[in-house]
Structure 1
């Protein structure tokens, strides 16, 4: 960035700042996204509004450009990393406000054989922002991890993610095993991926 491009985010009005955060997120600029998030909160913005308008709004633009072949996985990873900068600031605030209005527990993980977690992480962040207590199982989860999480946490939703077409059928294995054990009737299942 040249000196000509350098400006103070505090000088922007709210609309301009949201657009700048989205631009910075698109460019993968972690510290700028963090700073913009802090400024909006200091101006009295609700954490859910910052999440929805600035961060998720920016990731929607990223998603469209990824779909259209303008961005590729490395760029999307950089954008997701920048979003994490803003989420570090928002997460404690969202968790605090969710204690009184929790929608329940949401278990999410990437299925066995798959190590891709961008989508899973984004869904987890958005669900956390919406008021769920998110239990993230991470990547490469065998069916046993999901069953144990359902027993331990009693979630209202279990989310499974897979990017690879070769690992997508494993979601069915998890659902079948939950049905065999009588767990399925009390839990909503959400599956996603590329």
Structure 2
């Protein structure tokens, strides 16, 4: 019979078919759907985050692992009772205006979701006005902004300034990331934190909330 550890390692290795088989085996053996998520699928994806941070896994492998985890989640999710999966918070993720790079931002979203956050992917090339409107409408706990260019990272400051002008800056935590971004820049534009990678972003969101 499949075990939690086995399923977790199948997620790490990105083995979608094996994840499906092991998830079904665990369900047939009477394991609780929420335990399968928390003790196997999330554990596997958390290990992926650590390996990625240590440069022992790379983006294509992380995406394969995420797809494998999603297969398992899709099997057990319909079996959960209402209220079983409580969100750790809602995060809007966006690549700022003028920037079309979104792989890093998407990785952060994957890691946040695997750690119990509700993620709203706003896409790429998103203007400060669009982000502020989303914050007003959706009332997230965290706004995450990504930029890969020194020219576009300035829109992070524009977004924070617009949040202040609209009187809602204190209603949302703002985190930033991307190759040219730094802790010093985060402090300069009065963001709530800087995350150098996906796993750090998860830890940062947990600390802020």
Distance 1:36 1:91 in 2: 15
Structure 2 counterparts to residues 27-176 of structure 1, below 5 A: 27-42=13-28, 43-47=30-34, 49-92=35-78, 96-97=82-83, 106-112=90-96, 113=99, 114-116=101-103, 117-128=106-117, 134-155=119-140, 157-162=141-146, 164=148, 166=150, 170-176=155-161
Q: Cα offset for 1:58?
A: 1.0
Secondary structure of the structure 2 residue equivalent to 1:28: coil
Contact 1:109–1:141 under 8 Å retained in 2: no
Q: Which residue among 162, 167, 170 is the counterpart of 1:177?
A: 162
Paired residues, number:
172
- Conservation of the 8 A alpha-carbon contact between 1:25 and 1:59: yes
How far, CA to CA, are the matches of 2:138 and 2:9 in structure 1? 38
1:187 maps to which residue? Answer: 172
TM score, norm. by length of structure 1: 0.70
Unaligned runs of 5+ in 2: 177-194, 198-209
CA contact (8 A) 2:142 2:174 kept: yes
Residue segments in structure 1 that go unaligned for 5+ positions in a row: 1-10
**How high is the TM-score relative to the length of structure 2?**
0.66
What's the Cα RMSD here? 3.0
How much has 1:97 moved relative to structure 2? 1.9
